[in-house]
Amino acid sequence: MKHYEVNFDGLIGPSHNYSGLAVGNLASSRNARLTSHPKEAALQGINKMRTLMRLGYQQGFLLPNARPDLGTLRNLGFSGSNERIINEAASKAPELLTMVYSASSMWAANAATVTPSLDANDGRVHFTPANLLTTAHRAIEHPQTFAILNTVFADEAFFKVHPALTAHSNFADEGAANHTRLSNQYDHAGVGLFVYGRTEESTTQRFPARQTLAASRAVARGHGTNDAIFLKQSARAIDSGAFHNDVVAVGNGPVLFFHEFAFDAEEQNAIFAELRSRMDFNPICVSNSDVPIEDAITSYLFNSQLLAAPDGDVNNMTLIAPTESRDNPRVKAYLDALTQDTTQPIRQVVYVDVRQSMSNGGGPACLRLRVILNERELSAVSQQFLLTEERADWLESWVMRNYRDDLNPSDLADPQLAVECYRALDELTHELSCYGVYPHQTDAI
């Protein structure tokens, strides 16, 4: 049966803003409190999806989390009408308002870890929403993400959506950003490469390691993963700003494209030997002399989407890279040389503009959750979440109608913004026949 890699991008929500919430994420800190452009951000996201669809790939999308998350503010002691809650939080605890307004669910690579049915012992596709508990604004995502994944992948004959892991620092989980499914071909059983930053004790000096080995093991176990391998990120990568492994590595099929400093060097040798013994593993290491780690992180070279050809040919790959990689002369020179080198499979680079997301540390690969599906599984997906030209047109017009051009973090104090956000999400969920998926649509207030 034919298998596809389907990319489900997170729709960028109407409250996209720069609040500097993500420790260890250099772009988020650098752009803290700048004016964001939600309409432009969402259109950039839709345009990236359209680019892939027009290249011939299967493309889907996920609903954004509903923000503001007033249920969280109620849980934290605020009460009364929505307006009152927002006014009180704005005056007494503005940091909580930024937390519940973040549009961070756009980075769908952190929505969940996914195991394709070929690799799971019960023959279903497994999802575990990430608990994202290193940062407060992201730790509140998983309940809605769970509901959203259950809406898109509702058919339990084919899909199993697990609850997020237990919320303790020992089980800190950041989802597919730290997971790569490697296989000779999409229709062959593969290996889940789980990359983690720490055991209980962290070895980083500057920034927190967000993913634990215990979390990765728990996800692999819960999914009934037939073949899982665990590899440690290097502390140097994390301390240089690689808060997720997908900032310094991307893999697909038999290929792992990564920076020399991405992984713990000792473990890397042993794990690569293991991978070579199991499959036609094809590592492409970019040396620090070709692309210094600092350039890799500012340009987000490795946060590109690495795609096999639309027909699944893993010898004819495309890299969907952020325009920041084209604008960095060293990185551009490296990529030009790479595509000329016919001993490796990356044949072309397509640059996409996702600058609004990039300013919060989210590149092309952060914006998507990859799901390998066979034809029957693809038909079991709730079809309204698969992109077509018409659906992309509708989403664009919905953004144009509902999103603000500019947003300053101080605008979050305006209760009218909440009204606008909920109105937009209500229109979206009506259109997609899933009204009721969000707490504000069912909670008695």
Distance CA(208)–CA(231), nearest Å, equals 17
314-343 positions binding ligand SUG, by CB under 6 A: none
How many amino acids of this chain bind ligand SUG (CB under 6 A)?
22
User: By C-beta, is 253 or 364 nearer to ligand SUG?
Assistant: 364
CA-closest candidate to residue 36, choices 27, 49, 26, 46: 27
Measuring CA to CA, how many Å separate 405 from each of 17, 122, 401? Answer: 11, 47, 11
In whole angstroms, the minimum distance from the beta carbon of 362 to ligand SUG comes to 4
- When the beta carbons of 104 and 131 are compared against ligand SUG, the nearer one is 104
Cis before 68 (ω within 30): yes
Q: Looking at beta carbons only, is 27 or 380 nearer to ligand SUG?
A: 27
Residue closest to 173 by CA, chosen among 139, 204, 126? 139
Of 23-82, which residues contact ligand SUG (CB under 6 A)? 25, 28
Q: Return all residues near 61 (Cβ < 8 A) that are at least 6 apart.
A: 8, 9, 10, 11, 49, 385, 387, 395
Mark 154-183 with x for binding to ligand SUG (rule: CB under 6 A) and - for no binding. Answer: -----------------------x------
Q: What are phi and psi of 384, to 5 degrees?
A: -70, -10
244 binds ligand SUG (CB under 6 A): yes
Q: Using CB atoms within 10 A of its CB, is residue 347 exposed (0-12), middle (13-18) or buried (19+)?
A: middle
- Give yes or no for residue 229 binding ligand SUG (CB under 6 A): no
Measure the CA–CA gap between 176 and 128, rounded to whole angstroms. Answer: 9
Span near ligand SUG by CB under 6 A; candidates 270-278, 279-287, 322-330, 356-364: 356-364
Nearer to ligand SUG, 3 or 39 (CB): 39
Q: What is the dihedral of CA 279, 282, 288, 292, to 10 degrees?
A: -110
16: annotated active-site residue? no
Least Å distance, CB 311 to ligand SUG, is: 27
Q: State in angstroms the smallest separation of the CB of 412 from ligand SUG.
A: 11
Residue 304, interface with ligand SUG (CB under 6 A)? no
Going by C-alpha positions, the residue among 366, 383, 389, 390 that lies closest to residue 432 is: 383
- Asked if residue 247 binds ligand SUG (CB under 6 A), the reply is yes
Q: Give CA 2 to chain center in angstroms.
A: 25
Of 3, 141, 223, 366, catalytic: 366
Q: Which two tokens stand for residue 206?
A: 């500057």
Instruction: Using the structure block, give the residue that is written with the tokens 């325009």.
Output: 323
Binding test (CB under 6 A) with ligand SUG, winner from 4, 18, 186, 263: 18
User: Is 366 designated active site?
Assistant: yes
Q: Is residue 258 at the binding interface for ligand SUG, with CB under 6 A as the rule?
A: no
Token pair 């809406």 is at which residue? 151
Site for ligand SUG contains 94 (CB under 6 A):
no
Give the range of 2-10, 13-21, 280-288, 304-312 binding ligand SUG by CB under 6 A. Answer: 13-21
Closest separation in Å from C-beta 409 to ligand SUG = 8
Cα–Cα dist 148/156, whole Å: 14
Among 5, 40, 174, 324, the one annotated catalytic: 174
Q: Per CB under 6 A, does 138 bind ligand SUG?
A: yes
Q: Which is nearer to ligand SUG, 279 or 417 (CB)?
A: 417
Q: Which of 179, 244, 259, 440 is catalytic?
A: 244
Burial 262-278 (b: 16+ CB within 10 A, else e): bbbeeebeebbeebeee
For the chain, the distance separating the N- and C-terminal CA atoms, rounded to the nearest angstrom, is 49
98 to 137: interface string for ligand SUG, x by CB under 6 A: ----x-x--x-xx---------------------------
Compute the least distance from the CB of residue 295 to ligand SUG, in Å.
Answer: 17
C-alpha 134/C-alpha 14 separation (Å) is: 24
Active site residues: 174, 244, 366
Query: Where along the sequence are the contacts to ligand SUG (CB under 6 A)?
Result: 18-22, 25, 28, 102, 104, 107, 109-110, 138, 177, 243-244, 246-247, 360-362, 366
